[in-house]
Structure 1
Amino acid sequence: MNLDAASVGQRVVVRHAVGGTGPSGGPAMSDVIGRVRSVDATDVTIERRDGRMHVVHLADVVTWKPVPDRPARRRKAADVSAAELTRITSRGWPAIDSVPLGEWELRTSGRFTGRANSVAVHGDPGVPFDEALLRVHEFYAAHGVPPLAQVVVGSADDRTFAAAGWVPMSGRHDGAVVQVADLDPAYDTHPGARIADTADDDWLDSYGRVNDPLAARAVLEGPATVGFVSIGTPAVAIGRIVVTGEWAGIACVEVSPGHRRQGLARQIVETALAWAVERGADKAYLQTMRSNEAALALYQPYGFGDHHDYRYLEPGHPGRIRTVLA
């Protein structure tokens, strides 16, 4: 049986040649486990459990076989490090222009949200810190936007940036709490909710934080597996759900003022989580402001608990340009 279009969506393990000689003297081999996302005439693309995409040339495939969707042993959401979770959340909200700097990620997306317009600071930048800061300044200067860094509150990176003179960004969207949950096998899918694979004008209008629809759509629709949930025509409640590997990310849950306190937000969340579980997710994350008590109360019954906080830092020099991000 060959890897072909019929394999898309399956969780598989693929053994493939990687070049060179292995320990036994034969060809060197490697295994990759994940969900098949695409197959063409030459390559198969496999999404790993953390959302990373791995491309294997079909000519290098030695053997492959399906594996169970839900292994008996699995990591708990709370056991993932803040650095790894930052990488996972970035894959679920991908920047239009993303450049690696060692393990850091330089991101910009036409000022649509801080998450897509800041350097995601985690791990080693691969160069001395002073040089890394210079690269950050150069990247954002080339894109005509002020530099901004997303750091985990209380981390060594947070302290290092502070020692270099970077200060917390002022404004309402100056950071967030990241919460995680282990998902149940089943959630209710509400018949009044529909899920589309693109964000139409009605959905974007309901989201209400969009100045540039092209930039917003590029970020929101960027992942391979993403759904835009809505209730009503025109929409009176919306949400966004993304699946990258074993993780689901839920965001953008909004209910129009005249339709609140009717359980619509709960219907959006449950429909979104059901959709994510059907696509292989067994863990979920969300990002919201600490001050958003309504959102925290909405998600608490689904087992979401605090993982870490992050904040945005900007260079603390006189006359700096304040960033204004959704």
Structure 2
Amino acid sequence: MTPDAPTVGARVVVRHLAGGTGPSGGPALNDVVGRVLGVDDSTVTVQRRDGRTAIVALADIVTWKVVPDRPLRRRRARDVDTEELTRITSRGWPPIESQRLGDWELRAAGRFTGRANSVAVHGSPGVELTDALERVEAFYAERDQPALAQVVTGSAHDTALAAAGWTPMDDYHGGAVVQVADLDPAYAADPAARIADSVDAEWLSHYGRVNDPVSARAVLEGPAQVAFVSIGDPIVAIGRVVVTGEWAGISCVEVDPEVRRQGLAKRVVDTSLAWAVEHGADKAYLQTMRANTAAIALYAPYGFADHHDYRYLRPSTATSQ
């Protein structure tokens, strides 16, 4: 017996052939535990708790079964390692193009946001730092984009890149604070809010950072489990929520200036978190500017607290020729 369409959304354990010989002399086996994202004629796609996906050939499945959702949260949001959280947030805001450089991720998406157009620096690049930075610069030069590195502020990587001559961006979008929260079992979705699995032109027009709609849609709609919230007809408030494994990411909460201070942002967040819990998340993150005190105040009652800051570094003039 193998997973079928009604299994989508269920939490399962899939034991499958891994190739080669196992310790006992029989076929090597591997277990994948996670939530089923999709099933087709030949494969099942399972999302692990950290948002990574595994695609298993149906022909390789030895056994599978639906298992209960975890009864208790295993880790608090604030206890998750900074580098692991960086990987998780990247999965929630995926670039159009991604290349690995050891543990680093080179990301490009037509210049739509720094998060999708910078190298995510975590772990080891697998080569000497000088070689790694040369490869980073070459990657972005080939795409006619400025080279940017996203680093955790104050980390060893931050210090190393600074010593190599990379300097911080000082403008409004030069970095952000990442906040996290443990989610309650239930939130009250607003009955007037609409939830869609893709963005239309009206929703997109309310998100002020869009220069290229094609690139923006590719990034915003990229994850397997993503929802776009809107309130009003015509729309006056929007938000985006993504679930990757046990994590939800809240972003793009915008309210038209003429209707602010009427609770619309809270209604968007309540609806987003209700959707996130329904889709298996028990923790959430957000990324916002330190100077955006209104956003920080909005999220504080939900338990969001600082996890870490990141900033963008770029090559100095002397190293970027």
Q: What does the per-residue CA deviation read over 1:49-70, in whole Å, with 9 as the maximum and x for residues that have no partner?
A: 1111101111111111111123
Quick one: structure 1 residues 320 and 129, their matched pair in 2 at CA, closer, same or farther if it must change by over 3 Å?
closer
1:318, distance to aligned residue in structure 2 (A)? 5.2
1:295 is matched with which residue? 295
Equivalent residue pairs, number: 321
Contact 2:73 2:282 in 1 (8 A): no
1:320, distance to aligned residue in structure 2 (A)? 6.5
1:41, distance to aligned residue in structure 2 (A)? 1.5
Distance 2:183 2:125 in 1: 33
Quick one: structure 1 residues 185 and 73, their matched pair in 2 at CA, closer, same or farther if it must change by over 3 Å?
closer
1:33 is matched with which residue? 33
2:247 is matched with which residue? 247
Q: What does the per-residue CA deviation read over 1:152-210, in whole Å, with 9 as the maximum and x for residues that have no partner?
A: 00100000000000000131100000000110000011111111111111111111211
2:238 is matched with which residue? 238
SS of the aligned residue for 1:207 comes to: coil
2:76 is matched with which residue? 76
Give the share of equivalent positions with the same residue, in percent. 69
1:121, distance to aligned residue in structure 2 (A)? 0.3
1:309, distance to aligned residue in structure 2 (A)? 0.2
1:73, distance to aligned residue in structure 2 (A)? 4.8
SS of the aligned residue for 2:206 comes to: helix
1:14 is matched with which residue? 14
Contact 2:152 2:158 in 1 (8 A): yes
SS of the aligned residue for 1:19 comes to: strand
Distance 1:76 1:49 in 2: 13
1:119 is matched with which residue? 119
1:212 is matched with which residue? 212
1:245, distance to aligned residue in structure 2 (A)? 0.7
- The residue type equivalent to 1:123 in the other structure is G
Which deviates more from structure 2 when the two are superposed, residues 33-42 or residues 20-29?
20-29
Match status 1:109 vs 2:109: yes
2:94 is matched with which residue? 94
Distance 1:216 1:208 in 2: 11
Which deviates more from structure 2 when the two are superposed, residues 176-185 or residues 37-46?
37-46
1:42, distance to aligned residue in structure 2 (A)? 1.3
1:274 is matched with which residue? 274
1:324 is matched with which residue? none
Contact 2:35 2:46 in 1 (8 A): yes
Distance 2:313 2:2 in 1: 50
1:71, distance to aligned residue in structure 2 (A)? 3.4
Q: What does the per-residue CA deviation read over 1:256-285, in whole Å, with 9 as the maximum and x for residues that have no partner?
A: 111111110000000000001000011100
2:130 is matched with which residue? 130
- The residue type equivalent to 2:237 in the other structure is A
Match status 1:144 vs 2:182: no
Distance 1:209 1:163 in 2: 32
Distance 1:286 1:151 in 2: 17
- The residue type equivalent to 1:200 in the other structure is D
- The residue type equivalent to 1:204 in the other structure is L
SS of the aligned residue for 2:116 comes to: coil
Equivalent residues in 2 for 1:38-53, closer than 5 Å = 38-53=38-53
Q: TM-score, normalised by structure 1?
A: 0.96
- The residue type equivalent to 1:299 in the other structure is Y
1:22, distance to aligned residue in structure 2 (A)? 1.3
Distance 1:66 1:205 in 2: 41
Q: What does the per-residue CA deviation read over 1:31-85, in whole Å, with 9 as the maximum and x for residues that have no partner?
A: 1100111111111111111111101111111111111123335111111111111
Q: What residue ranges of structure 2 are gaps of 5+ in the alignment?
A: none
Quick one: structure 1 residues 162 and 90, their matched pair in 2 at CA, closer, same or farther if it must change by over 3 Å?
same
Distance 2:158 2:11 in 1: 38
Q: What residue ranges of structure 1 are gaps of 5+ in the alignment?
A: 322-326
- The residue type equivalent to 1:182 in the other structure is D
SS of the aligned residue for 1:126 comes to: coil
Contact 2:177 2:310 in 1 (8 A): yes
SS of the aligned residue for 2:125 comes to: coil
1:202 is matched with which residue? 202
- The residue type equivalent to 1:120 in the other structure is A
1:134, distance to aligned residue in structure 2 (A)? 1.1
1:2, distance to aligned residue in structure 2 (A)? 2.4
Distance 2:161 2:236 in 1: 42
Which deviates more from structure 2 when the two are superposed, residues 222-231 or residues 15-24?
15-24
- The residue type equivalent to 1:34 in the other structure is G
Distance 2:116 2:232 in 1: 29
